[in-house]
Structure 1
Amino acid sequence: MSVRTAPGPRERLLDAAQRLFYSHGVNVGVDSLLKAANVARRSLYEHFGGKDGLVAEVLRRSADEDEEQYRQTMRAAGSDPRARLLAIFDRLAEIVDRPDFRGCRYLAADLALPDPDHPGHAVTRDYRERVHRLLADELVGLGHPRPERAADQLLLLIDGVLASGATRPGTRPAASARELAEHILDGGRPTTN
């Protein structure tokens, strides 16, 4: 018989912060975080060294989860690199249509953290580099003539979908981005019908 234990203060802080940072931004007050996690202030400092450490750890945790979502989406699309890359935009269409969608957590964090040396910025940069590598690897598999440049372009489209989906709901940015992505995947050459 296994005994289920309740999450400890560290996990409760991470869970609460991940929810609150996404819905309200990283500038949520410490008191609100502590109350939502039902932990003492001491736990924040013991486990994360303060709020900056918590922000960075939440972004790191989210980045791992989001990168895995990209991988799952591509795996589900099969083995064709083109279909795998386009599946990302189909998945983004589902995500931006959710009622609780609030945009890109990484862009929001970068804009909300004025200190360029905040540890959260290193996490967001690393996350974007990881997604870029994921895209570039697929583009190499596709035989794209400029995989690095095309990965830059696809990442720009992804960022645009997430920003537009948050600021202009109902405009179907993922569908528009998917059309542009098809052009990028075709190497910028016009397709023949």
Structure 2
Amino acid sequence: MSPTSPARDRLLKAARELFYADGYGVSIDAVTERAHVAKPTVYAHFKSKDELIGTMLTLACEEWFTELNAELERRDGDPLAQLLAPFDLLAASLPDPAYHGCILVNSAAAFLSADHPAHHALVTHDERMSTLFERLAAKAGAAKPADLARQLLVLYDGVKARGLVDNTGGAARDARTAATALLQSHSGTRPRKGPVTM
């Protein structure tokens, strides 16, 4: 079967919806029922449930970076606004009463083994975010962009954790304010203000 077949796409969509809403204990039978495919179809595309999970998480990660890169392009020419873009996107996705946390972080809590595809997906995501934050921090004038990038990643992950108990978007806005202050402390100057909202 084609790796981009409609059945495979439906399986990934169903898996993402069910695992996010109900956790990773959801059975393959439930996924196939939601996707309207026969159970053998799963194993025609994925070697195991774990591989399905890993592929689904990788796809979720790619979708995030596609959205983020598009927003960075819209903010081209404004380094501070670009640095704050991840926090603005998180704030824009809230409030959401159905928010159950970050699907990548949730998977790391569910699968503790470093060998699990979920762990690999989360590590890859964080490495990409760290690299991106470092590049944006350098453009925004940070004296030590690698240090600032690590601090911004803590804020970024913290927004997703706080969203579990506060889905108003307030945590993202607070993180945005903290990120601006961090950049100021790293550059020694007051950064030019970016857009208050997206």
Aligned positions of 1:128-139 closer than 5 A: 128-139=126-137
1:161 paired to 2:173? no
The structure 1 residue matched to 2:120, chosen from 119, 122, 135, is 122
Bigger mean CA offset, 23-32 vs 41-50: 23-32
Distance (whole Å) between structure 2 residues aligned to residue 113 and residue 140 of structure 1 = 35
Task: Tell me if the contact between 1:27 and 1:112 (Cα under 8 Å) persists in the aligned partners.
Answer: no
Q: TM-score when scaled to structure 2?
A: 0.86
Q: CA deviation at 1:43?
A: 1.3
> Number of aligned pairs?
186
- 2:195 aligned residue: none
Tell me the CA shift for residue 191 of structure 1.
4.6
Instruction: Give the Cα–Cα distance (whole angstroms) in 1 for the partners of residues 174 and 55 of structure 2.
Output: 33
The runs of 5 or more residues in structure 1 that have no matched partner are 1-6
8 Å contact 2:83–2:140 — kept in the other structure? no
Which residue is 2:108 aligned to? 110
Structure 1: which amino acid aligns with 2:104? Y
User: Alpha-carbon deviation of 1:55?
Assistant: 0.2
Q: Is the 1:96–1:162 contact (alpha carbons within 8 Å) kept by the matching residues of 2?
A: no
Instruction: Work out whether residues 165 and 171 of structure 1, in 8 Å CA contact, stay in contact via their aligned partners in 2.
Output: yes
- Give, in whole Å, the separation in 2 of the partners of 1:91 and 1:115: 30
* Cα distance in 2, alignment partners of residues 114 and 144 from structure 1: 35
Question: What is the CA–CA distance in structure 2 between the aligned matches of 1:98 and 1:51, rounded to whole Å?
Answer: 28
CA distance in 2 between partners of 1:85 and 1:190 (Å): 16
Report what 1:3 is aligned to: none
Identity of aligned residues (%): 33
Cα deviation, residue 90, structure 1: 2.1
State the alpha-carbon separation in 2 of the partners of residues 67 and 22 from structure 1: 19
Q: C-alpha root-mean-square deviation of aligned residues, in Å? A: 1.9
Show the counterpart of 1:35: 33
Q: Which residue of 1 aligns with 2:91?
A: 93
Q: Is the 8 A contact 2:68 2:85 kept in 1?
A: no
Alpha-carbon distance between aligned partners in 2 of 1:185 and 1:26, rounded to the nearest angstrom = 38
* Displacement after TM superposition at 1:56 (Å): 0.3
Please state how far the C-alpha of 1:148 moved relative to its aligned partner. Answer: 1.0
Among 149, 152, 155, the alignment partner of 1:151 is 149
- C-alpha distance in structure 2 between counterparts of 1:11 and 1:78, whole Å: 33
1:54, distance to aligned residue in structure 2 (A): 0.1
